[in-house]
């Protein structure tokens, strides 16, 4: 992970104070090779001279807009780009991502939002080789290892079917929160998932048989009547 902090970051924004602030936050996060530009010309020059690993671009710049700057950068570099926009219209967002931007942050933003997204892009682009392993987590009555698709309950192992595995993964992603049955159906059966509610209930019942002490009185995989389900994860 430490090598990510070595990455060279270019910040292009016409507001010097804002540039300064972003630099401060990034330095605090541990990044130290930070380059600042106030307009497109400076940015292009820096791109050539220091060859940054990632760029944070403002959409509104004094000489050109950020989208055309990205176009020019793309002629010689495939580095990831994160847009910073004060416009915030969805259309801008589409243009930005359509041009091959990696993410888009709307001003005003909290510093954490920006650093998290920046780190996520860096991880994705520069440390992709290692696949994230799937989680292992404890429920009240059992332990679930999604990596091996196994449930450990009372010293016994039970395999999970593909659908059960997908459901548990989705439930785990919003652990301790309600996830609607629609969202679950969509995750398992795709966009046109209307009419799968009964099938979903069947799968939920089978999961409960594997993970609950008493499947008819679930403690981990709760039904939220009329809405969906909630997976209670310990810790």
Partner 1 sequence: MSSTLRILRGFAGATILISILLLFINFIVGFMITVPQGSLSSAGLVKTVANKLEGSNGAYSLDTQAEKLLKHNHLWAMLINNTGQVSWSYALPAEIPKTYSLTEVAKFSRSFLMDYPVFVWEHPDGLVVIGYPKDSYGKYYLSYPSDFIASIPFILVGLLIGNILLALLFSMLLGGRLIAPLRSLVNGIHALAHEQTVHIKPKGILSELAESLNHASDILKAKNEALKTRDEARFNWIAGISHDIRTPLSMVLGYASDLEENPNLSQEQRKQAAIIRQQGVKLRELVKDLNLVSMLEYEMQPLVNKPMRLAPIVRQVASDFLNNGLDEKYNIQLDIGDEAITVNGDEKLLTRALTNLVQNSITHNPQGCEIHIQIPQGNTDQSLCSIIVFDNGQGIPQDQLSNLMELPYSDKRKHHRSNGHGLGIPIVTRIVKAHGGQLELFSDIEEGLTAIIYLPKNIGTT
In this complex, which beta carbon is closest to partner 1, that of residue 33 or of residue 87? 87
In this complex, which beta carbon is closest to partner 1, that of residue 119 or of residue 142? 119
In this complex, which beta carbon is closest to partner 1, that of residue 105 or of residue 160? 105
SS3 81: strand
**Rounded to whole angstroms, how far apart are CA atoms 123 and 73?**
21
Which residues contribute to the site for partner 1 (CB under 8 A)?
15, 17-18, 21-22, 24-25, 28, 60, 86-91, 106-112, 174, 177-183, 194, 224, 226-228
Please give the full DSSP string across 129-181, using - where no structure is assigned. SSPPPPPEEE-SS-EEETTTTEEEETTEEEEPPHHHHHHHHHHHHTTTSEEEH
Q: In angstroms, give the least distance from the CB of 197 to partner 1.
A: 8
**Rounded to whole angstroms, how far apart are CA atoms 107 and 113?**
11
Q: In angstroms, give the least distance from the CB of 8 to partner 1.
A: 22
Q: In angstroms, give the least distance from the CB of 86 to partner 1.
A: 4
**Rounded to whole angstroms, how far apart are CA atoms 149 and 160?**
5
Helix (H) or strand (E) holding 205: helix 197-211
DSSP 57: E
In this complex, which beta carbon is closest to partner 1, that of residue 3 or of residue 90? 90
Helical axes 162-173 vs 181-189, angle rounded to 10°: 130
- Tokens found for residue 58: 């403002």
**Rounded to whole angstroms, how far apart are CA atoms 224 and 22?**
42
Q: In angstroms, give the least distance from the CB of 149 to partner 1.
A: 27
Q: In angstroms, give the least distance from the CB of 20 to partner 1.
A: 9
Q: In angstroms, give the least distance from the CB of 177 to partner 1.
A: 4
Chain CA centroid to CA 50, Å: 29
Q: In angstroms, give the least distance from the CB of 7 to partner 1.
A: 21
List Cβ neighbours of 6 (8 Å cut-off, separation of 6 or more).
32, 33
In this complex, which beta carbon is closest to partner 1, that of residue 26 or of residue 43? 26
In this complex, which beta carbon is closest to partner 1, that of residue 32 or of residue 109? 109
In this complex, which beta carbon is closest to partner 1, that of residue 92 or of residue 210? 92
């Amino acid at each position: 992970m430490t090598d990510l902090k070595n990455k060279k970051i270019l910040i292009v924004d016409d507001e010097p104070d804002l540039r300064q602030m972003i630099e401060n936050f990034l330095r605090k996060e541990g990044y130290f090779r930070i380059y600042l530009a106030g307009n497109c010309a400076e940015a292009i020059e820096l791109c050539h001279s220091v060859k940054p690993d990632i760029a944070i671009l403002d959409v509104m710049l004094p000489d050109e807009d950020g989208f055309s700057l990205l176009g020019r950068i793309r002629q010689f570099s495939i580095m990831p780009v994160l847009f910073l926009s004060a416009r915030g219209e969805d259309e801008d967002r589409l243009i930005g991502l359509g041009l091959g931007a990696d993410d888009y942050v709307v001003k005003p933003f909290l510093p954490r939002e920006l650093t998290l997204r920046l780190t996520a892009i860096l991880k994705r682009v520069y440390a992709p080789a290692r696949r994230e392993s799937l989680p292992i987590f404890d429920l009240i009555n059992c332990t679930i290892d999604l990596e091996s698709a196994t449930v450990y309950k009372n010293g016994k192992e039970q395999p999970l079917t593909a659908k059960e595995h997908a459901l548990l993964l989705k439930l785990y992603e919003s652990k301790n929160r309600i996830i609607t049955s629609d969202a679950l159906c969509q995750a398992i059966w795709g966009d046109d998932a209307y009419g799968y509610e009964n099938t979903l209930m069947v799968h939920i019942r089978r999961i409960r048989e594997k993970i609950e002490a008493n499947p008819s009185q679930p403690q981990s995989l709760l039904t939220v009547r009329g809405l969906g389900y909630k997976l209670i994860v310990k810790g």
